[in-house]
Amino acid sequence: MKDIILKAENISKQYRLGQVGTGTLSHDLNRWWHQLRGKEDPYLKIGDTNDRSTKGESDYVWALQDINFEVKRGEVLGIIGKNGAGKSTLLKILSKVTAPTTGSIKCRGRIASLLEVGTGFNGEMTGRENIFLNGAILGMTKKEIDSKLDEIIEFSGCQRYIDTPVKRYSSGMTVRLAFAVAAFLEPEILVIDEVLAVGDAEFQKKAIGKMQDISKQGGRTVLFVSHNMAAIQKLCTKCILLQNGKFIMEGKTEDVINFYLSQSVLNDSEYVFNTKLSGSKLAYATKLTIEDSYGNLMNEIPIGKPWRVKIHFTVSEKTKNLVIGLGMADMIDTPIRTSWAMPTDYDPGNYFASFTEEKIKFNSGQYKLIVGISRGSESIDYIDKDIVLTISDVVYEQEESIVNNKSGLIVDQMKTKIEQIY
Q: Which residue has the higher pLDDT, 361 or 179?
A: 179
Cβ neighbors of 121 (< 8 A, separation 6 or more) are: 130, 133, 134, 166, 174, 177, 178
Cα separation, 55 vs 271, whole angstroms: 29
- How many other C-beta atoms lie within 10 A of the C-beta of residue 113? 24
> Given this model, what pLDDT does residue 78 score?
92
Kindly report the three-state secondary structure assignment for every residue of 211-263.
HHHHHHCCCCEEEEECCCHHHHHHHCCEEEEEECCEEEEEEEHHHHHHHHHHH
Lowest mean pLDDT of 29-43, 71-85, 313-327, name the range: 29-43
CB 391 within 8 A of CB 299: no
pTM: 0.62
Mean per-residue pLDDT of the chain: 80
Tell me: the pLDDT tens digits for 192-227?
A: 887 676 667 777 778 888 888 878 777 788 899 887
User: At 67, is the pLDDT very low, low, confident or very high (cuts 50, 70, 90)?
Assistant: very high
Fold of 4-110+187-262: Rossmann fold (3.40.50)
Domain 270-392 has CATH 2.70.50.60: yes
Q: What is the structure's pLDDT at 411? A: 45
Partners of residue 78 on adjacent β-strands: 224, 239
In order of 126, 157, 299, the CA distances from 154 in angstroms are 16, 5, 52
Structural domain spans, the chain = 4-110+187-262, 270-392
Non-local CB neighbours of 354 within 8 Å, separated by 6+ positions: 308, 309, 310, 415, 416, 417, 418, 419
Residue pair 119/113 in contact by the 8 Å Cβ criterion: yes
Cα distance from N-terminal residue to C-terminal residue, the chain: 72
Q: Does residue 250 contact residue 232 with C-beta atoms inside 8 Å?
A: no
State the average pLDDT over residues 127-154.
87
* Among the listed residues 315, 375, 310, the one whose alpha carbon sits nearest the alpha carbon of residue 349: 315
**Contact between residue 50 and residue 58 where contact means Cβ atoms under 8 Å apart:** no
Residue 33, pLDDT above cutoff 60: yes
pLDDT surpasses 70 at 57:
no
pLDDT value, residue 95: 85
Residue 25's CB: how many other CB atoms inside 10 A?
7
